[in-house]
Amino acid sequence: MRRATALWMGLGAGAGIMYWLDPDRGRRRRSVALDRATHVARIERELLGKALRDLEHRRQGIAYRARALFRTDEASDIVLGERVRAVLGRYSSHPRSIEVSVTEGVARLAGPTLARETARLLAAVAKVPGIQGVEDKLVRHEQPGNVPGLQGEGLHVPRRRRVLRGDSWMPGVRLVAGALGLAAGTAGLVRRGGVGSALLMGGALLSLRALTNGPVRTLFGQTHDERGDIALGKTIVIESPIETVYAYFRNFENFARFMDHVEEVRVQNSHSNWKVRGPAGRTVDFEVEITRDQPNRLIAWRTRPHDGFEHSGTVRFSPTATGATRLQIEVAYSVPGGKLGNLVAKWFRVDPKTALDEDLLRFKSILERGKTSAHKRQVNREELRPV
Tell me what pLDDT residue 112 has.
92
* Of 285 and 350, more confident: 285
CA 244 to chain CA centroid, Å, is 30
Domain boundaries, the chain: 77-146, 230-383
Q: Say yes or no to pLDDT of 227 above 70.
A: no
Please say if the pLDDT value at position 303 is more than 60: yes
Residue 228 confidence class, pLDDT cut points 50, 70, 90: very low
User: What is this structure's pTM?
Assistant: 0.49
* pLDDT-derived band at 249, boundaries 50, 70, 90: very high
The dihedrals phi and psi of 192, each to the nearest 5 degrees, come to: 60, -165
CB atoms within 10 A of CB 144: 17
Mean pLDDT of 179-189: 84
What is the residue type of 108?
A: R
Terminal-residue alpha carbon distance, the chain: 66
Does residue 21 have a pLDDT over 90? no
Tell me how far CA of residue 249 lies from CA of 12, 256, 359, 374, in angstroms: 47, 12, 12, 17
Q: Phi and psi for 200 in degrees, rounded to 5? A: -65, -45
From residue 344, give the alpha-carbon distance in Å to each of 215, 307, 333. Answer: 17, 24, 16
- Domain 77-146: top CATH class: alpha beta
pLDDT value, residue 281: 59
Q: How many helices (H) and strands (E) does the chain have?
A: 10, 12
In this structure, whether the domain defined by 230-383 belongs to CATH 3.30.530.20 is answered with yes
| 14 pLDDT above the threshold of 60 | yes
Q: Span 29-51, mean pLDDT?
A: 72
Helix (H, G, I), strand (E, B) or coil at 253: helix
Show the DSSP H helices in the chain as ranges.
Answer: 2-21, 26-69, 77-91, 115-126, 171-191, 193-212, 242-250, 255-258, 338-347, 352-368
The pLDDT, as a whole number, for residue 159 is 63
Model pLDDT, residue 344 = 46
Q: Is the pLDDT of residue 339 over 60?
A: no
Beta bridge partner(s), residue 271:
268, 289
Confidence of residue 368 (pLDDT cuts 50, 70, 90): very high
- Is 208:169 a contact under the CB 8 Å cutoff? no
